[in-house]
Amino acid sequence: MAATAALSTDDRQDAPRPAFPPPPVTARPIDRQAWIDAYRVVRAETERRAAPLSPEDQQIQSMEDASPTKWHRAHVTWFFEQFLLAEHLPGYAIHDPRLHYLFNSYYVAAGPRQPRTQRGLITRPTCAEVATYRAHVDRAVEALLGQASEKALADILPILEIGLFHEQQHQELLWTDILHAFAQNPLDPIYDEGWRFPTASPEAGSVTLDKGITAIGHEGDGFSYDNESPRHDSLILPVRIDRALVRNRDWLAFMEDGGYGRQDLWLNDGWYAAQGQGWEAPGYWRRHDGQWLQASLAGPKPVDPDAPVTHVSYYEADAYARWAGRVLPTEFEWEVAARNGDLPDAYGLVWQWTRSAYLAYPGYRPLPGALGEYNGKFMSNQFVLRGSSVATPEGHARATYRNFFYPHQRWQFTGLRLAEPLS
Amino acid sequence: MAATAALSTDDRQDAPRPAFPPPPVTARPIDRQAWIDAYRVVRAETERRAAPLSPEDQQIQSMEDASPTKWHRAHVTWFFEQFLLAEHLPGYAIHDPRLHYLFNSYYVAAGPRQPRTQRGLITRPTCAEVATYRAHVDRAVEALLGQASEKALADILPILEIGLFHEQQHQELLWTDILHAFAQNPLDPIYDEGWRFPTASPEAGSVTLDKGITAIGHEGDGFSYDNESPRHDSLILPVRIDRALVRNRDWLAFMEDGGYGRQDLWLNDGWYAAQGQGWEAPGYWRRHDGQWLQASLAGPKPVDPDAPVTHVSYYEADAYARWAGRVLPTEFEWEVAARNGDLPDAYGLVWQWTRSAYLAYPGYRPLPGALGEYNGKFMSNQFVLRGSSVATPEGHARATYRNFFYPHQRWQFTGLRLAEPLS
Amino acid sequence: MAATAALSTDDRQDAPRPAFPPPPVTARPIDRQAWIDAYRVVRAETERRAAPLSPEDQQIQSMEDASPTKWHRAHVTWFFEQFLLAEHLPGYAIHDPRLHYLFNSYYVAAGPRQPRTQRGLITRPTCAEVATYRAHVDRAVEALLGQASEKALADILPILEIGLFHEQQHQELLWTDILHAFAQNPLDPIYDEGWRFPTASPEAGSVTLDKGITAIGHEGDGFSYDNESPRHDSLILPVRIDRALVRNRDWLAFMEDGGYGRQDLWLNDGWYAAQGQGWEAPGYWRRHDGQWLQASLAGPKPVDPDAPVTHVSYYEADAYARWAGRVLPTEFEWEVAARNGDLPDAYGLVWQWTRSAYLAYPGYRPLPGALGEYNGKFMSNQFVLRGSSVATPEGHARATYRNFFYPHQRWQFTGLRLAEPLS
Amino acid sequence: MAATAALSTDDRQDAPRPAFPPPPVTARPIDRQAWIDAYRVVRAETERRAAPLSPEDQQIQSMEDASPTKWHRAHVTWFFEQFLLAEHLPGYAIHDPRLHYLFNSYYVAAGPRQPRTQRGLITRPTCAEVATYRAHVDRAVEALLGQASEKALADILPILEIGLFHEQQHQELLWTDILHAFAQNPLDPIYDEGWRFPTASPEAGSVTLDKGITAIGHEGDGFSYDNESPRHDSLILPVRIDRALVRNRDWLAFMEDGGYGRQDLWLNDGWYAAQGQGWEAPGYWRRHDGQWLQASLAGPKPVDPDAPVTHVSYYEADAYARWAGRVLPTEFEWEVAARNGDLPDAYGLVWQWTRSAYLAYPGYRPLPGALGEYNGKFMSNQFVLRGSSVATPEGHARATYRNFFYPHQRWQFTGLRLAEPLS
């Protein structure tokens, strides 16, 4: 992925097979080393993303939706300690029981926790102490993987696997959260001088879906989240979906046509969000000397007309689509087009808003226990995004993946592609 | 409808044909008198509902979601003046141009307006002056209907029709809003001593839907709102829907089982809404001498175990369904069951929450002009309710009708029925 | 007083002696009729002020600081019922015990009460029912005054007296609160066509106080509030006080000099209040066709350059004084100047902000019991105003009277006069 | 001072004369070295206080009233750069012009600035970069002091002097702010293991002031702030002031008597502050195993009954005094008693609330230019505290010093002593 490449362009040469994702949890015999490798790759990526940040940078929570880098590093570690080591490694000594309260995120069944809006108040443990915590847990996890019986591993691997995907989600947040934090600083700090937004495919045109019943949702033995199941039939109505993402040049046309000021284009809640926040352009855009700049991990950069628009909310995406006389695709339309391989730039650039509200699939059942809170309890007031973004770690994305955010949120790398019903 | 009957039990005898709804707007020849009758019936019903209220009662806005009775009476009148008379009655003199600002609700295209949260600040015009305004507009509308050419009527009747259905919606709000206002008063004012919640059907069991593609949405020449169109194919998956509404006795079991305190049963946003509002029971319930009372239009009354539960939010309905190991039906499942005639108590008791987010039907287009704001701009963050309630005026409901509210709202007569996927 | 005169210009002819204030409570023999007359005069003035208001007008609370007219009428009545009748009239039947909760204002010792911000939610009792309540209490009070023994009257009269002054304070609030309410209505309702702000004295120049110790605070057997005592020595430093109030023409010069935009003129808290509220002129001023209008009880009227400025907050008064290179007088300087008779327009136009914080006099003791909450508990964060305003009822003002409001408040008839230290 | 001693018990032996405060600015000949020494002492104390804190600790702003350690260190440096170097050192190169925006505090006349509530968002410059900034400015200030002409020094020294006192104020805030930050962390971080609250004097009894006119305010050639002038006559009324501070044992008696729950003891605004914040004890107190602990710079410690109560707001101090049947002294009474030398523990333990509102002395004039904003613009809504606290740096306190805070604030080391009027 290009974003990764910006930090490490030459260390992925000739890799015959990436360590991540790991083998299916059901694969036999169990390849312990493959799991250890996958664990190391994921853990190292977190540290690689945190490395350019000073202790001060890692401390702050720049808004309620964001979390400190240090918190991300510790929370994903706590996840392994809480759900894997404490349950499955006999004699494991909790690194520091007081951390449980601080680094639980929202697993109510796992006990009380630091209020999420006050994560930035916790200066101790320091970054260095969090590194010690991570090392402690890493040693224990690797020991567990080395020594557990095959039988025990059958229970352990599904938890390890979700822990790795979970950590990858926080890697993405780590980047989007620090981007938000840096964007608040008039000194325009730079995370990585060499970071560049990857180039979008030059393709145009559209892909057409015919009417028909098709199965939607995950199948097979690879990893998926509970919210991608059960696989179920869905009716697709005839539709045409753009192969190209909406680009900054398109968005500028919308802006120049007064799109942010025409209430008739907006959902009611969206209009009040836009007015309340003073939106006049995508997130992180500002005018400077007659030019639009957008904050990025490489600092403010001129808006590239050819790049996909990003940091737009659902409300903006919806208004744009209305202005263009089009619609967003449903998440099902997107999934069908993507699994057919017809959707350029489906992954690795921007998450793509769909017009589907985030709801349970028919017959959905959350995981048992605390992990049941992972996805199911957020099934109201949010919209589904599909694909993946420049910030998504390698191996994380798939066609059935359902991301979701509130319609007013735009600090993620969120963009859109358009569609048109044919019936 | 029972609620209406409570106020006027004997005036519906032998009615050969109700004046409302009026004939289809496309019916020829045009029956002017039928339209005048329909107009009179609807307008009279508003006044009948306002009649028991003092000028003080009609003045207040007891929360942001509610509006003063006086405002409802004036706003529905403004609707006819603005969209019908000003456009179509040559020489019509606006009753008082200053009222336009006060009684526009949210039609941005129709100009600026009194902020909706400040409707309770407007003491003038008084109730008596609003009655004068209503009479002025009534005379003009009836004159218009009497004198317009057939050709003009073709344009006029669709606006008149939507104005009548619009006024009926405000009749329902008038009741739910004054119920909220009275519930704030420790003196427990009574709107109508004789008001009673209608008795639910004793039926039990369930209705089963088989898998299949079916058309959803309005068809035919009767009235419907834009959001019921276009009629389109939808895939129904096998499901069983309860014939009975959830009753207070069921809800009490949920409460006694700690339902309001078990976070695992709740959507995340719902949990915070419930905690923030201190919900421990449905809306308007309070304990008194070891007994549950619920505020009603007849004042506080003991909770009837056999009556359908009402004044529950989507969040509560969803938590209840999870507790019961069931789900809410989708709006499409509800529509199919209802149009098959298999759903007792579909109408006239409580609006029934569905698990469908309120979104546009494929190919949806709003009405042109200011009326395009009627339904389309609310298509985010809300859930669909189907059926109708004890407060819904006669002739207003139909199987394709889509009502919608935010998931935290519960001052409407909102309840639920359960379903179970069979696949 | 002019304001009163505007409503009733000819009914005060040849009045040999006003009924209010009543005789000192210590005067012997007790003149029962004089007390009954005083009671009637005060009670009638409340009704006179409420008379032009519709039930709708009397219902609303247009902001947290204001109260509904109906509430004022009932609350002052409750005061007599609670502190006078219930305690001192044997066999008195409380009119409706439920009113106690609704119409207690803030007397914690007198029990729980309707939250002050929700007084506008109470539509019942209606205005007519409040009138009945008033009549019930009036009969009982007059009966009590007629039948009580001399000995009992010694206890009764001090409570009656404070009740009368208390009701007068609410008469002033009744006017300022309805002015605020009407000012929110784009229809510009008029309370009294004939109402005019009284003409200020044409006098100019200043009065000089020499350095010296002088006694401050109430003495004698007339009525005073607890916060005017104990009378105590205070050191006056040499000062010159303007005989004229600051007028609108002066204020316009301040505005034209950018006074509302120059942060250096403002207290820090004042600057943020002014910015937060968007102040650019005194309260109720608005520009119309190139002219400044100010809302009044007669509706919006052109700002009269010769009239004293009114509806200015302490923050504005302080900024104005700094701009003028002057100061506000202390409350002690004001009292000395006023009791010497040297201060034109001390009474009957606008309350005059002083630069004295509202604090206890040395040795201050509140009244015993619930009435102890009358003045003492407000002694922080407020500033003292002296004099009286156009809205103050006759007989209410005196040189030692200490009014107090928060520095950001400006819905009262508040103005200022300037001073200059001479040392 | 004891607090300082806790960190460095043995480095003050035999000090013949402290370097701070420096000579009067009017002393001739000018002792350049004494000024350089004073500068070094003050600057070093800031760094000494920051030294135990990690970069993470120095980053956070734990509430709106507090600021990050790093910000304090930079802001006091900016003060010298802005008001001293930029004005008076020819050819001085601003270290980084972008820091001006970040580290201006509230000097409006000095230009726009980072909003004070968002100081915690600025992760760059890092602590290390702030150290570089400090060194840059230190070199320049020392060079300026070494090379400036006598004539230039006459202008320079008053600014240098206010800059030093200003930095000392931030040293005190640095401690109180980090104490607040650490108190939010359930891990109870420790700033200095050896820190102890100094022991209060064992003295009891009272000092009596007779009635009389006395001069209040600063005189002489030592440093004072503008708000201590002009010196002016004030009338003292007979009063008795306790020699002892109120102690924790006294406060516990107040608590045990229900002091926090008796509304009759509280100012109205105080009651709502206490209820809104859930106050049941002084700041930083919490119960643990049946014992009261109070957070301190050495971590949570058992409440010492003999120590002066601290971290109480004005509202609490006032309620306590009312409960005790006493009053707080006025700031003038305090000043007279303190300058007579009769007030043990006047300095070095806790700031002592007075019952004087913070207002201008008669004839007060702020400094010209941006420094005029230093004290004058805060003269509303605050109360005066006198003395100094355990956190106040050496040489900073004097009998005429006027500290001021809002009545609800209690994160400073604030306590009280009682008084009793004798007239």
* pLDDT single digits (tens) B276-321: 999 999 999 999 999 999 999 999 999 999 999 999 999 999 999 9
What pLDDT does residue A14 have?
A: 58
Mean pLDDT of all residues in D283-308:
97
Give residue A16's pLDDT.
Answer: 64
Q: What residue segments make up the domains of chain C, in order of their start? A: 2-183, 206-421
Q: What are phi and psi of D207, to 5 degrees?
A: -115, 140
Chain C neighbours (≥3 Cβ pairs under 8 A) are B, D
Please list every residue in chain D whose beta carbon sits closer than 8 Å to the beta carbon of residue C268. Answer: 106, 377-378
Is B123's CB within 8 Å of C59's CB? yes
Closest to C25 measured CA to CA, from C158, C162, C219, C220: C158
CB contact under 8 A, A57 and D123: yes
Is residue D5 pLDDT above 50, yes or no?
no
Q: CB pairs below 8 Å between A and B: how many?
A: 86
According to the model, what pLDDT value does residue D106 have?
Answer: 72
Report chain D's mean pLDDT, rounded to a whole number: 94
CA B228 to chain centre: 15
Q: What is the DSSP string of A139-202?
A: HHHHHHHHH--HHHHHHHHHHHHHHHHHHHHHHHHHHHHHHHHHHT-TT---S-TT--PPPPP-
Q: Decide if D186 and A101 are in contact by the 8 Å CB cutoff.
A: yes
Tell me the chain C residues in contact with residue D377 when contact means C-beta distances shorter than 8 Å.
Answer: 266-268, 271
pLDDT at D342: 86
How many angstroms separate the CA of residue A56 from the nearest CA in chain D?
5
What secondary structure letter does DSSP report for B308?
A: B
Sign of the CA dihedral A396, A399, A405, A411?
Answer: positive
* Touching status, chains B and D (3+ beta-carbon pairs under 8 Å): no
Instruction: Kindly report, residue by residue over B262-273, the tens digit of the pLDDT.
Output: 999 999 999 999
Interchain proximity A187–D98, CB inside 8 Å:
yes
Q: Do A357 and B362 touch (CB under 8 A)?
A: no
| C-alpha dihedral sign at B141, B147, B151, B152 | negative
At position C18, the amino acid (one-letter code) is: P
- Contact state of C124 with B59 under an 8 Å Cβ cutoff: no
Looking at chain B, which residue has its C-alpha nearest residue C70? B56
Q: What are phi and psi of C175, to 5 degrees?
A: -70, -45
| Min Cα separation A183/chain D (Å) | 10
| Residue in C with minimal Cα distance to B117 | C62
Residue pair A408/B348 in contact by the 8 Å Cβ criterion:
no
**Long-range CB contacts (within 8 A, 24+) of A51-54:** A52/A191, A52/A192, A53/A178, A53/A191, A54/D55, A54/D123, A54/D124, A54/D126
List, edge to edge, every strand of the sheet that includes D383-386: D403-405, D383-386, D351-357, D414-415
A98: chain D residues, CB-CB within 8 Å: 186-187
Out of A108, A421, A423, name the one closest to residue B263 (CB).
A108
- Of the candidates D232, D237, D383, the beta carbon closest to that of C232 is on D237
Q: Which residue of C has its CA nearest to D214?
A: C235
Q: Which uninterrupted H or E stretch holds B232?
A: strand B232-236
How many CB atoms sit inside 10 A of residue D90's CB? 8
Cβ A184 vs Cβ A286: under 8 Å? no
Contact C268 D378 (CB under 8 A): yes
Q: Is C401 in contact with C386 (CB distance < 8 Å)? A: yes
State the complex-level ipTM.
0.94
User: CA of B125: which chain C residue's CA is closest?
Assistant: C187
Q: pLDDT tens digits for B328-385? A: 999 999 999 999 998 999 999 999 999 999 999 999 998 888 888 889 999 999 999 9
- Is the pLDDT score of D18 beyond 50? yes
Summarised one tens digit per residue, pLDDT across range B15-66 is 567 899 999 999 999 999 999 999 999 999 999 999 999 999 999 999 999 9
- In this complex, the residue of D54, D181, D187 whose CB is nearest that of residue A98 is D187
| Span C213-222, average pLDDT | 96
Percent residues over pLDDT 70 in chain D: 96
Please say if the pLDDT value at position B111 is more than 90.
no
For the residues C326-332, what does the mean pLDDT come to? 98
HSE-CB at C361 with a 13 A cutoff on CA atoms is 24
Give every residue of chain A whose pLDDT is below 50, as ranges. Answer: 1-12
Q: Which residues of C touch B56 (CB under 8 A)?
A: 55-56, 58-59, 70, 123-124, 126-127
CA distance C242 to C328: 10
SS3 annotation, chain D? CHHHHHHCCCCCCCCCCCCCCCCCCCCCCCCHHHHHHHHHHHHHHHHHHHCCCCHHHHHCCCCCCCCCHHHHHHHHHHHHHHHHHHHHCCCCCCCCCCHHHHHCCCCHHHCCCCCHHHHHHCCCCCHHHHHHHHHHHHHHHHHHHHHCCHHHHHHHHHHHHHHHHHHHHHHHHHHHHHHHHHHCCCCCCCCCCCCCCCCCCCCCCEEEECCEEEEECCCCCCCCCHHHCCCEEEEECCEEEECCCCEHHHHHHHHHCCHHHCHHHCCHHHHHHHHHHCCCCCCCEEEECCEEEECCCCCCEECCCCCECCCCCHHHHHHHHHHCCCECCCHHHHHHHHHCCCCCCCCCECEEEEEEECCCCCCCCCCCCHHHHCCHHHCCCCEEEECCECCCCCCCCCCCCCEEECCCCCCCCEECCCEEECC
Q: Which residues of D touch A (CB under 8 A)?
A: 54-60, 62, 70, 98, 101-102, 114, 118, 120-127, 181-182, 184-187, 189
Tens of pLDDT, residues C372-402 = 888 999 999 999 999 999 999 999 999 999 9
Query: Residue range D94-105: average pLDDT?
Result: 93
What is the number of other CB atoms lying within 10 angstroms of the CB of residue A290? 5
A8 burial via Cβ count (<10 Å: 0-12, 13-18, 19+) = exposed
Number of Cβ atoms within 10 Å of the Cβ of C124: 15
C-alpha D343/C-alpha D397 separation (Å) is: 14
Q: Check CB contact under 8 Å for B54 and C126.
A: yes
Residues of A with CB under 8 A from a CB of B: 106, 108-109, 211, 213, 232-235, 237, 263-264, 266-271, 314-315, 318, 327, 355-357, 359-360, 362-363, 372-373, 377-381, 383, 407, 421, 423
Determine which of A43-57, A174-188, B398-412, C16-30 has the lowest per-residue pLDDT on average: C16-30
Interface test with D, best of A61, A117, A123, A184 (most D CBs within 10 A): A123
What does the alpha-carbon distance between residue A361 and residue A225 come to, in Å, rounded to a whole number? 12
Residue D268 has pLDDT above 60, yes or no: yes
pLDDT at C13: 52
pLDDT at B9 over 50: no
Nearest to D59 among A60, A102, A184 (CB): A60
Query: Between chains, do A102 and D62 touch, taking CB under 8 Å as contact?
Result: no
Q: Is the pTM of this model over 0.90?
A: yes
Q: What is the pLDDT of residue A71?
A: 97
CATH class of this structure's domain B2-183: mainly alpha
Which positions in chain A have a beta carbon within 8 angstroms of at least one beta carbon in chain D?
54-60, 62, 70, 98, 101-102, 114, 118, 120-127, 181-182, 184-187, 189
C146 dihedral zone (left: phi>0; alpha: psi -120 to 50; beta): alpha
Sign of torsion, CA C38 C40 C43 C45?
negative
The alpha-carbon gap from D23 to the nearest alpha carbon of chain C, in Å, equals: 30
Minimal-distance CA residue of chain C relative to D357 = C357
User: D264 to chain A nearest CA, in Å?
Assistant: 35
Å between B384 CA and nearest CA of chain A? 12
B11 has a pLDDT exceeding 50: no
Q: Which of the listed CATH numbers 3.90.1580.10, 3.40.50.2300, 3.30.2350.10, 1.25.40.10 matches domain A206-421? A: 3.90.1580.10
Give the gap in angstroms from C-alpha D240 to the nearest C-alpha of chain C: 13
Average pLDDT of D253-257?
Answer: 98
User: Average pLDDT of C14-43?
Assistant: 91
Is B54–C124 a contact, with Cβ atoms under 8 angstroms apart?
yes
Nearest CB among D70, D126, D187 relative to A124 is that of D187
All residues of chain C having their beta carbon less than 8 Å from the beta carbon of residue B189 are: 123-124
Q: D90 to chain C, minimum CA–CA distance in Å?
A: 29
Nearest chain A CA: its distance from B352 CA (Å) = 17
Distance (Å, whole) CA C310 – CA C296: 11
pLDDT attached to residue A210: 97
Which chain C residues are within 8 Å of B182, Cβ to Cβ? 123
Give D251's pLDDT tier (boundaries 50, 70, 90): very high
DSSP assigned state of A267: -
Neighbours of A312 (CB within 10 A): 25
Instruction: Determine if the peptide bond prior to B230 is cis (ω within 30°).
Output: yes
Which of C270, C377, C421 has the CB atom closest to D380's CB atom? C270
D358-395 per-position pLDDT tens digit: 999 999 998 888 888 889 999 999 999 999 999 999 99
Q: Which chains lie within 8 Å of chain D at 3 or more CB pairs, if any?
A: A, C
Confirm if D2 and D296 have CB atoms less than 8 A apart: no
User: Which chain C positions have a beta carbon within 8 Å of B184's beta carbon?
Assistant: 118, 121-122
pLDDT given at position D15 = 55
The answer to whether D329 and D241 have CB atoms below 8 angstroms apart is yes
Tell me how far CA of residue D422 lies from CA of C3, C254, D208, D211, D239, in angstroms.
Answer: 45, 46, 9, 10, 5
Alpha-carbon gap: D325 to the closest alpha carbon of chain A (Å): 41
For chains D and A, tell me whether 3 or more CB atom pairs sit within 8 A of each other.
Answer: yes
Taking an 8 Å cut-off on Cβ atoms, the answer to whether B123 and C98 are in contact is no
